[in-house]
Amino acid sequence: MEIYELVIDMKLLERRLTLWEEKYAVLSEDFYAALMSGKLARYDE
């Protein structure tokens, strides 16, 4: 795999993550922190 292909894949992944964050109105880093600390239930509201 060439470096430019990796860059393209990274940009696509970043776009998908942004769409997920917008859809669920939560930042992925906040979601991850809640998941790791066992406080994920607050996102079920």
Domain regions of the chain by residue span: 3-44
- With a cut of 80, say whether residue 42 has pLDDT above it: no
Give dist(CA 28, CA 34) in Å, integer.
10
Phi, psi angle pair for 17, to nearest 5°: -65, -40
For residue 39, name the pLDDT band (cuts at 50, 70, 90).
confident
Q: What is the pTM of this model?
A: 0.69
* Residue 41, both tokens: 């239930």
Percentage with pLDDT > 90 across the chain: 67
pLDDT number for residue 23: 95
Q: pLDDT by residue (tens digit) across 10-24? A: 999 999 999 999 999
**Using alpha carbons only, how large is the chain's radius of gyration in Å?**
14
Q: Do residues 40 and 34 touch, judged by C-beta distance below 8 A?
A: yes
Give dist(CA 11, CA 44) in Å, integer.
29
